[in-house]
Each structure stands twice: as C-alpha cells, then as structure tokens.
Amino acid sequence: MEGCLPGSEDVLLVDDDEFVCQVVVDLLGRNGFPVKVVSSGQEAYAEVQGGFRGVVVLDRVLPDIDGTELLPLLLEMCPTNPVVLLTGHGSLDLALDSIQTGAFEFLDKSELMARLVPCVHAAALRFREFNSASQGADSRKDATRFPEIVTRSREMKAVFRTLLNALDSSVTVLIQGESGTGKELVASAIHENGPRASGPFVALNCAGIPENLLEAEIFGYERGAFTGATSRKPGKFELAQGGTLLLDEIGEMHPTLQAKLLRVIQSGEYQRLGGVETLYADVRVLSSTNRNLEREVELGRFRADLYYRLAVFTVYLPPLRERAGDIAVLSEHFVREYSRLESRNVNTIDKNAMELLGSYNFPGNIRELQNIISYAVISSRNETLTIADFPPNFLRAVRQYRWESGQSHKPVFHMPEPPDVYIPVRAAGDEEARQVAKRPFSEPALPGKASVGSTRDLSASADVFEHAGGFRTLEEVEAAHINKALVRTGGNKAQAARLLGISRVTLYRRLAAPN
C-alpha cells in the first residue's frame, strides 16, 4: 500500500443528492475546506485509487452501492483517509456498525448544519496526524504510527485506528485476545507512541509467577518481609515509575491481590511488603488477557470494580486465522528475521509451502507461526523454504485440520493380506485364552470364532465375553481385542494402535505386560 500523502483536495464528497451537495460545499467552503464532489461509489473508488488523500464524506445511499459496503473498500486502499458517513435514515445499529467498520464519524443529515464543520475539522486534524507519523514507513508495515507491527490485514488496521484514540492519554487500556496474538507487542507500541515513551516499559506475566510471590513482584518488599527477603527489592510499579506497566494475563490474578491492585489504580498509593512508607505510582497501567473478563466477573472470579478500572479503553486483537493476508506477510517477515539471526541464506518461501501455511488455522496464532518458520529456516537446505522444511508435528496438525475442515479427503489405506506368522500378544485368564498368543494368523483369534477375513465382529459376539468356565475377565477380552487388531493389520503395531484408538506406547506396554 502506498503512503497516504496529502493531495490537492481536502474533502471528497460522495453524494448524488444535489441539494445536500450544495449545502455541504457551502458549509465547508466558508470554513476553508475545498470540496470535490462525485455522485457514485465507482467514482469515489476511482478517486481514492487514483491518489485522493484527505477527508471523505460518504453518503450511505448511492446509486450503485451502499455506503456501508464502500466504506471498508476505501479504508483498505488508504486507512489514513478519515471517512465521515452520512445518512438520511439513521439508526443506532447502523451507527454502531459503521464506527466498528472504521468510520471516523456517523452523521444524520438533519445534523449537517450543527455538526458537519466541527466533524470535518476533527477529521482533518486526524488526517494530518496520520501523515506526519507515516513518513518513511516501510511499505510492508502499517503506514500509521505502528511501524513495529507487521500486518496488511484490514482487521489489524481497524485496531490501529482504535488505538490512536488512546495514545496521547493516560487512561488504562485492556488488550484482549487469544494467546499468541501479539498483545505485549501492541502494549509496547502504545507505550512507544505515547507521551511516556521516554520512560521505562515494564511487563509482568501474572500467570507465570506463583500466587504467593506475585504481590512481592508487583509492589516490592522490604528486608525481612518474609523468609528469604535478605534485602529490599523494588516492585514493578517502582521500576515503571514515569513510564508504563503491562500486567499480562491479568485474568489469572487472585481476588485478594486484585483488591490491592485496585487501590493503587484508584489512589496511586501503595506500600512495599513489610514496609510502612507510602509510595506514589506515576505509572500508566496497561493489562492484557486471553480470558473473557466480563464472563469472569459474572462467575465471581474477577472483581467488577477492578475490571471497570482496567477496561476504560478496550482493544480486541483478532486471531491470526481472522486476519486476511497476515499469514503470508508475517511468514516472509520471520524468514528474513531468522535468516539474519541464524546466519542462513534463506530469503523466500515456495508457492506450495505458502499455500500450506494459508490452509491452517494456527490455534497458537503468531507465536506458533513464528516457531514454525524458525524451525524451517534452521532446517532449510537451500534459499527457498519448502514443505519438507516444516516441523513434522506441524505437518501432522495441518493434515488433521485439513481433514476435519473438509479441505482434503482422508486417504484410504489398502492393507495387504496378512502372512501366516505368529502374533506376540499377551492373553490373560484361563488356559484356553492364553493359547491365543501362540496361534498363527490362519487360525481363529479365539476358539470357535471367525477366522481372519470374516465379516463377523468378534467384539460384538456374546461368546467373546463368556466361555465354558463362565464369564471372561476384562483382561481376557482386552487381549482378544488386541489380538484381532493385530490380525487385521498384518501384525503392524502402529496400524493396530490406530484401530484400537490408543497410542503405540500404550499398545507396546500392554503387549509387554507379564501373563
């Protein structure tokens, strides 16, 4: 995407109503905004595609397209063009949908006289802010104020537009999303692009520290506060003074500690463990979680008052599977990064390997993709990564996911006829059952049962569970069932384990058990 630089026009009005167009042109013209008017979605698309950079005032009802459908297309071409959506038939749901899609503002035409000029003025300020921060940005990265975050997806650019509203403030920000979506990276970007960028950025993983030590990590402690406290240690609030503190996985924090954290956020005051001195925290608090904290509040596992303090401004990071185009651009980025770190001459990914990556759902998100590419770069045999370079466990996971999602068909294996050999299977119980292990494939698996190749299901037959001496034990039935699986697979233990629904290790353990 090209950098969004100011053009000759300040405002692009997209509306086919001549009266509305005249009102808008007059209002904005008197306030120093030159306006270019087009009457269709196709014309608007062509203008932005051709280089228009500025504020777009977009009518919802156009002759060739609904404005709400055109909005994401315009933002995709240039996300730094603020779009003000106009409608003559507004509703609360429409306003919510438009803002969530990325509109700068939503205006009812009945409010034009009172709200249009202030709204366009604010949008123009935002536009200049966008462009002053985007000069020299890498074309592979977002051309706004987050060059450290690699993306090309519309979903993440919508996140960036949301974050811009919180950058220059000191409000708490709650970052939500699945594990591995880059929550700490986004928190760091908020810090680096905010007014506290010159101060420290301190991150604490609340899930990675035992409950009894977490309080000491957050607030610090005095010498003698507990066994092993041989000297004073500053806590994370103290270390982050004048900067930003990220409390990662805040949903894991114990309710008792939640109450103490709430006090610090409300009053800015705290004490070290074992101390009497009152300290004051000049810290911006960011938090992140992979849990649904609203649900945790409903279940009584998270304090409602703390939640509302932390969630003054909330951001949701979509999982990688919902970020169109990001798998490819992130894969290329990680190839370059790990090729440099590992001193490898790897610079690209072949078509089939990239297609395979794009067909997977990545439950571990960006962190999982990063680990896969790291492995592939290290194991690569030439300058281009291929499917053969990917880790085996990833290839198995992709195959399984493609089967389950209907992207491919599970192959049908045709087993050869079993040879006439003996099966090393343990059969427990009476002497009759013990002889099963000594019988060749050509004999019945159990006395009186169907021989190999029969369509009868032994496990469903009554006499599998009973014999002349009475009811068979569970051990005897299990041994017979394992025996039949081995007969069916020609003695192949791996295939037999799959038939039985157990691992090969479990099968080997059962076979090795003493009679």
Tell me whether domains 166-316 and 431-512 share a fold.
no
Q: Helical H runs in 149-220?
A: 154-163, 183-192, 211-219
Residue 62 makes CB contacts below 8 A (sequence gap 6+) with 14, 15, 16, 39, 40, 41, 70
Among 15, 19, 64, 50, smallest CA distance to 36 is for: 15
- What's the pLDDT score for residue 504? 74
Name which of 247, 241, 246 is nearest 199 in CA terms: 241
Give the strand pairing for 220-221 and 233-234. antiparallel
DSSP string, 472-500: PPHHHHHHHHHHHHHHHTTT-HHHHHHHH
* Residue 393, Cβ density class (10 Å: 0-12 exposed, 13-18 middle, ≥19 buried): exposed
pLDDT score recorded for residue 491: 79
**To which residue do tokens 């074992």 refer?**
274
Cβ neighbour number for residue 18 with a 10 Å cutoff: 10
Q: Do the Cβ atoms of 232 and 272 come closer than 8 Å?
A: yes
* Burial of 98 per CB tally in 10 Å (0-12, 13-18, 19+): buried
The phi, psi pair for 173, rounded to 5°, reads -125, 130
User: 3-class SS at 367?
Assistant: helix
Say how many C-beta atoms besides its own lie within 10 A of residue 444's C-beta.
16
Token pair, residue 45, equals 């698309």
Rounded to an integer, what distance in angstroms lies between the CA atom of residue 102 and that of residue 109?
19
Report the sign of the C-alpha dihedral through residues 123, 124, 130, 133, in that order. Answer: negative
pLDDT of residue 317: 94
Nearest to 289 by CA among 261, 256, 241, 253: 253
Bridge partners of 379, per DSSP, are: none
* Spatial distance between the Cα atoms of 173 and 163, rounded to a whole number of angstroms: 9
Element holding 17 (H helix, E strand): none
Domain boundaries, the chain: 11-134, 166-316, 321-404, 431-512
Q: How far apart are CA 512 and CA 168, in angstroms?
A: 67
Q: Is the dihedral of CA 469, 474, 475, 477 positive or negative?
A: positive
In the predicted model, residues of the chain with pLDDT beneath 50 are 1-8, 134-144, 412-462
**Cβ neighbours for 96, distance < 8 A, ≥ 6 positions apart:** none
Distance of CA 359 to the CA centre of its chain: 16
CB 53 within 8 A of CB 6: yes
Q: For the domain bounded by 431-512, which CATH number is listed? A: 1.10.10
Residues 97-132: tens digit of each pLDDT: 787 778 888 888 888 888 899 999 988 887 887 666
Class at the top of the CATH hierarchy for domain 321-404: mainly alpha
Give the CATH number of domain 11-134. 3.40.50.2300
Q: Are 377 and 346 in contact (CB under 8 A)?
A: yes
> What is the pLDDT at residue 340?
93
Name the 3-class secondary structure at 236: helix
Whether 153 and 140 have beta carbons less than 8 Å apart is answered as no
Q: Which amino acid is present at 295?
A: R
Q: Domain 166-316, what architecture?
A: 3-Layer(aba) Sandwich (3.40)
Cα–Cα dist 103/98, whole Å: 6
CB 333 within 8 A of CB 371: no
Quote the tokens at residue 99. Answer: 């803002």
Q: How many CB atoms lie within 10 A of CB 328?
A: 15
| DSSP 3-state of 246 | strand
Three-state secondary structure of 50-82: CCCCCEEEEECECCCCEHHHHHHHHHHHCCCCC
Q: CB neighbours of 425 closer than 8 A, spacing ≥ 6?
A: 436, 437, 479, 482, 483, 486, 511
Q: Residue 159: its pLDDT value, please? A: 87
CA–CA separation, 15 vs 62, rounded Å?
Answer: 7
Phi, psi of 471 (to 5 degrees): -80, 135
pTM: 0.62
What CA–CA distance (Å, rounded) separates 368 from 180? 7
Summarised one tens digit per residue, pLDDT across range 323-375 is 878 999 999 999 999 999 999 999 999 999 999 999 999 999 999 999 999 99
